[in-house]
A and B are shown apart, each in its own frame.
Chain A
Amino acid sequence: MHLSETIISLAPWLVFAPLTGLLINLIFGRRLSEKAVGTVASLASGAAFVVSVLLAYAVSINHGEVMRWRLAEWIHIGTLNLDWTFRIDSLSTTMMLVVSGVGTLIHIYAIGYMHEDVRFKHDEGRYTRFFIFLNLFIAAMMILVSGDSYMMLFVGWEGVGLSSFLLIGFWFEMDTLGRPSWANSDAAKKAFIANRIGDFGFLIAAFLMFWGFGSLQFDQVFAGASSLSAINSPLTVAITLFLLLGVAGKSAQIPLYVWLPDAMAGPTPVSALIHAATMVTAGVYLVARSAPIYATAPAAQYLVAMTGAITALFAATIAVGQYDIKKVLAYSTVSQLGFMVAAVGMGAYTAGMFHLITHAFFKALLFLSAGSVILGLERGHHHAPSSPTLPPKGEGSHRPLSPRERARVREHHEIFDPGDMRNMGGLRKTMPVTFWLYIVGTLALTGIFPFAGFWSKDEILLDASLHFTGIYWLLTIAAFFTAFYMGRQIWMVFFGESRSEAAAHAEESPKVMTLPLVVLAILSAVGGGLNLPFEGFHNLGHWLSYTLGEVESLPLDLTVAGVSTLLALTAIFVSWLLYGRTPLQAGQIDPLKRLGLVFTGMENKWFVDEGYFAVIINPFKKISQFLADVIDWRFWHDFVHDTLIVGTYNWLSTIALDHYADQKGIDAFANWLGTATQWISENVRKIQNGFVRSYALAVMLGVVLILGYLIFK
């Protein structure tokens, strides 16, 4: 007990550690070398991981008892009492471990990656800024998962949204290929706006909670949940549905998922850290955290599960038609998040959290490996013999280039997309380490025994098959597509012949990048051990039951596992038939084009973005244009401001003030004073005529008057 109290007092360092790293880099970053900046940031994140491990240990020796550490008073208004309290229980420590653990590995990877990035161009400030943003993200995410109230969760929720915006738009002045453009900054804005819509839902839900429960503190809300649903079940449903909107925004579910694929504009470590492993799982965490509320609204639960399942299938179909290596993984992330949301919607919180953890491992692995592939291609592109050999400096430097050399220069400066899978092929020979890491990630994602994804996905499918047959089939088909698009990716990227000079000359990434990947690969391989479906091995389920109450611990169902494995193998086989047996040649169109319209739909993301543009964004822009041009400019500016207000002021100043008040009032009075004085003196001076006798007469008359007054008074 004493030990756990000592450990719990470390809880604020979950947030302070990354903040310290942030401050050090912010203040001294310019004077530190690249390596030092990256080390500071990684250590800060690592410190948070150490604290998380200690906290998890404290929870386990306290047998899952919820522990709180009150840091400061926060909001005390009327009946609203919120403190800045860290909540340490098995659910929050699980999230902390994932976030800081995967986060630290990605920090280390980023030290190498950001240095290699062609867009980096040795801008020290940019490099430092990247790690500042990464630490800011870790701090915000820690607030999100450790908060003891919905408001504190919301602070972290907004904080990660901000970090996400900053990092997606990290190369804000160029597009993904480094050309000057606003594409990246548009992607950042898209992510931020889609998230804002979700945040709006979250806020409304929080307001309704305060209205219904009189509190935003987790335990008080949960304590009132069942009694409230008995009295006012529409309110409970409203709360859960608005929360679902928040989940859809942050965890990229239909209808708000569109931001996540565009978020790939950010540097690859960001895609791995924020847009695959941690931030996007915040929605899943939110539903798991709000389990007692969802338990009272089965209809909302079903809607959550349905949203997740449909998203899982929908995004998986889009992933099939993508050519960008990161876009495939992005849609895969949306799809896998759909699995998690479906799981927590069904009430299978353990399965959902389990998949969250394993997905964090293998999706971070896949993204970082994809980053390694992209950098390998960049290097290959740089060193490819088609790049012109410039004449050595010195006597030959004035020699004009031959036409052949000029053509080479032109070709070299043509835009080359290192992320396009059609430019790859045959990379297993040039990048063997990355190849094997990618294979591990793919097997984990597709759910092949005994990799992590097999266990977690299988648990979700099993739960669905027992309770919701419709969702089970949706998810199973999604799993089939998952295996197919991952197979397609593997064949296109690593097998066959190189389809570009860059791919042929690709080079393996340095150790600072591959070592974190090896760790992630090991975790992806054995991560399933967290929660094996055998008696006595439901470790994660047991651990989470401290927080979530008794959860179903299902035994392995060979039918479900067999069907999903069989489907995955079939899908990989089909992908081999299409892409592996006869490898794609340079310039050859995708064999799936034969599907016609269906593939065109997949390729173009089912035209969802275009639909949003047609239905929402363009009308919105038109309304904005109308409001700006007509209402704001012509009405408010031209009419109200220029005509009414300026006119009134002009009238006031020229007519009322100038003409009447000033000229006719003040001026006229002053003039009158002058003329009156003049007139009086004109007349009075006549008395002073210089005749002594008239003066004497005046004196006389004066005396007579005074005497007369004295006599007759």
Chain B
Amino acid sequence: MIPVDYYIILSAILFTIGALGVLIRRNPLIIFMSIELMLNAANLAFVAFGRSWEITSGKPFYTGQIFVFFVIAVAAAEVAVGLALIVEIFKTKKNINIDEMNSLKG
């Protein structure tokens, strides 16, 4: 069986990739994808820990898996709102470059 460490490391790599994507990219669509990566890295960690705990305790334990469903649901909702925002922004600015959206600066 694959040790839990491997999952964690993969999860960390995925999260880092996602985070870097959020920080580096300017296209909101790519940023959404990166966020999706980060969320799924967390999901992976949840599932891995949940499974690991189930094996260690020898009792059925689904908390991690259930939490993942919540995250997926939230992610879907988030994307729905985010894409709607992007569409509206594009309608006014004819552009979706994230760095142009700075009208709330101090």
Contact = CB atoms under 8 A, between A and B. Distances in A.
Contacts of A697: 23
Contacts of B22: 693, 696
B47 interface: no
A575 B26 CA distance: 145
Interface in A661-713: 684-693, 696-697, 700
Nearest to B102: A690
Contacts of B99: 691, 693
19 contacts: A684-B106, A686-B106, A688-B104, A688-B105, A688-B106, A689-B106, A690-B101, A690-B102, A690-B105, A690-B106, A691-B98, A691-B102, A692-B98, A693-B23, A693-B24, A693-B26, A696-B23, A700-B19, A700-B23
A698 to B, nearest CB: 11
B19 A689 contact: no
A689 B103 CA distance: 9
Q: Indicate the size class of the contact surface on chain A.
A: 10 to 19
Given A688-B104, A688-B106, A690-B104, 19 more contacts: A685-B106, A686-B106, A687-B106, A688-B105, A689-B105, A689-B106, A690-B101, A690-B102, A690-B103, A690-B106, A691-B99, A691-B102, A692-B98, A692-B101, A693-B22, A693-B23, A693-B24, A696-B23, A700-B19
Contacts, number: 33
Interface of A: 684-693, 696-697, 700
A128 B98 CA distance: 108
Contacts of B106: 684-690
Top 5 A-B pairs, shortest CB-CB distance: A690-B102, A690-B105, A688-B106, A685-B106, A689-B105
Interface string B13-31: 0000001001110100000
A474 to B, nearest CB: 115
A690 to B, nearest CB: 3
Nearest to A687: B106
A689 B98 CA distance: 13
B51 to A, nearest CB: 24
A700 B26 CA distance: 17
A678 B98 CA distance: 30
Contacts of A700: 19, 23
Nearest to A694: B23
A225 B98 CA distance: 120
A692 B100 CA distance: 10
Nearest to A692: B98
A700 to B, nearest CB: 6
A688 to B, nearest CB: 3
Nearest to A693: B23
A691 B100 CA distance: 8
A667 to B, nearest CB: 30
A693 to B, nearest CB: 5
A687 B102 CA distance: 12
Contacts of A690: 101-106
A402 B103 CA distance: 114
A460 to B, nearest CB: 116
